[in-house]
């Protein structure tokens, strides 16, 4: 049973988000931080519902990591022109793309049907096409970066050829696509992925085309997992690049330590994102 302190925390977090959203124009300005240019594109996929999170996430990236060489944001179709103007104030070099513009060229008929029926199908269009931007960092809007994330700006971070990714501890895979037990180890979470060289999607797409039945919620993440793992992908240090939910019912953020580089605040604990010092 959740404690009284937990319920108070949730109310505080919701109030902080509402206050942040009410002053979003004020917050949507570049954050002070290193002027280091990251030798990669920062790619995002966002809708109007998650606009406050996107602003907070990008500002924390600017504050602790630096400025990407290029920034691309794919709209889910709900962003308005006023939202584009607001995000352009925050990141003047941002390029806005529709799903059709960004993912249309690499979308198979099966992918198009998936995208038409499920939100994660629309994300698959983005993930499949991100190769065109490599080297690229894909990051969901519900990620906050902290001081140790500055290592992403180091030249050594980009010397490896293999992809890096956020380890999913659960895991969340469609076993119809990842058919062998050996293919399911060290599962990829699609919230934060670093692709240094284009991925080979041929085998994942063959499996998707032959899928029996309709795609499921985690079909998108499984296809990404396969492409990343077939490319020799390695998980980032899970104690520092955090995807955990053990503190879901706690009144505090258990993973707010000084060594944490980033945390993915998935939907079950999105409120905790607003407990951190957001400026």
Would you state the pLDDT for residue 117? 93
Residue 143: name the closest of 165, 174, 159, 162 by CA.
165
- The per-residue pLDDT for range 213-268, each reduced to its tens digit, is 999 999 999 999 999 999 999 999 999 999 999 999 999 999 988 999 999 999 99
Average pLDDT (2-6) is 87
Reported confidence tier of residue 137, pLDDT bands at 50, 70, 90: very high
pLDDT of 141 strictly over 80: yes
90 Rama sector, left if φ>0, alpha if ψ -120 to 50, beta otherwise = alpha
Reported confidence tier of residue 279, pLDDT bands at 50, 70, 90: low
Structure tokens belonging to residue 161: 């050829």
Would you state the pLDDT for residue 1? 57
Structure tokens belonging to residue 57: 């996430």
Percent of the chain having pLDDT more than 90?
94
Q: Which residue has the tokens 């020799």?
A: 232
4-8, 44-48, 126-130, 199-203: least confidently modelled range = 4-8
- The per-residue pLDDT for range 173-221, each reduced to its tens digit, is 999 999 999 999 999 999 999 999 999 999 999 999 999 999 999 999 9
Would you state the pLDDT for residue 2? 75
Instruction: Write down the mean pLDDT value for the chain.
Output: 95
Residue 234 CB-density burial (10 A; 0-12 exposed, 13-18 middle, 19+ buried): middle
Contact between 190 and 129 under an 8 Å Cβ cutoff? The reply is no
Contact between 97 and 73 under an 8 Å Cβ cutoff? The reply is yes
* Strands of the 188-195 sheet, one edge to the other: 95-97, 67-75, 37-46, 136-139, 188-195, 164-167, 234-235
Q: Which residue has the tokens 């997992």?
A: 225
186 Rama sector, left if φ>0, alpha if ψ -120 to 50, beta otherwise = left
CATH ID of 4-275, from 2.40.50, 3.90.550, 3.30.70, 3.30.2420: 3.90.550
What SS3 class is residue 185? Answer: coil
Q: What secondary structure letter does DSSP report for 139?
A: E
Cα–Cα distance, 43 to 21 (Å, whole number): 22
Cα-based distances in Å from 58 to 74, 75, 118, 234: 14, 15, 26, 24
What SS3 class is residue 273? Answer: helix
Would you state the pLDDT for residue 276? 83
Residue 120: name the closest of 7, 26, 215 by CA.
215
């Amino acid at each position: 049973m959740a404690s009284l302190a937990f319920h108070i925390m949730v109310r505080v977090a919701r109030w902080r988000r509402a206050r942040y959203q009410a002053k979003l124009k004020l917050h949507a300005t570049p954050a002070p931080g290193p002027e280091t240019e990251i030798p990669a594109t920062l790619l995002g996929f966002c809708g109007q519902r998650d606009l406050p999170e996107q602003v907070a996430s990008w500002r924390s990236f600017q504050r602790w990591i630096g400025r990407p060489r290029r920034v691309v944001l794919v709209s889910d179709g709900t962003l308005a022109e006023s939202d584009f103007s607001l995000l352009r104030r925050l990141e003047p070099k941002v390029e806005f793309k529709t799903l059709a513009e960004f993912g249309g060229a690499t979308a198979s008929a099966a992918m198009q049907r998936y995208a038409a029926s499920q939100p994660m199908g629309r994300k698959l269009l983005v993930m499949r096409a991100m190769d065109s931007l490599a080297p690229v960092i894909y990051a969901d809007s519900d990620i906050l970066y902290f001081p140790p994330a500055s290592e992403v700006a180091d030249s050594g971070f980009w010397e490896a050829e293999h992809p890096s990714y956020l380890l999913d501890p659960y895991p969340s895979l469609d076993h119809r696509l990842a058919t062998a037990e050996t293919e399911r180890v060290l599962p990829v979470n699609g919230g934060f992925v670093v692709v240094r060289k284009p991925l080979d999607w041929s085998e994942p797409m063959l499996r998707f085309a032959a899928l029996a039945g309709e795609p499921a919620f985690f079909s998108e993440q499984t296809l990404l997992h396969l492409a990343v793992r077939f490319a020799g992908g390695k998980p980032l240090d899970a104690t520092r690049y955090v995807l955990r939910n053990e503190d879901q019912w706690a009144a505090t953020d258990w993973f707010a330590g000084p060594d944490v580089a980033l945390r993915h605040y998935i939907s079950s604990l999105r409120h905790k994102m607003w407990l951190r010092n957001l400026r």
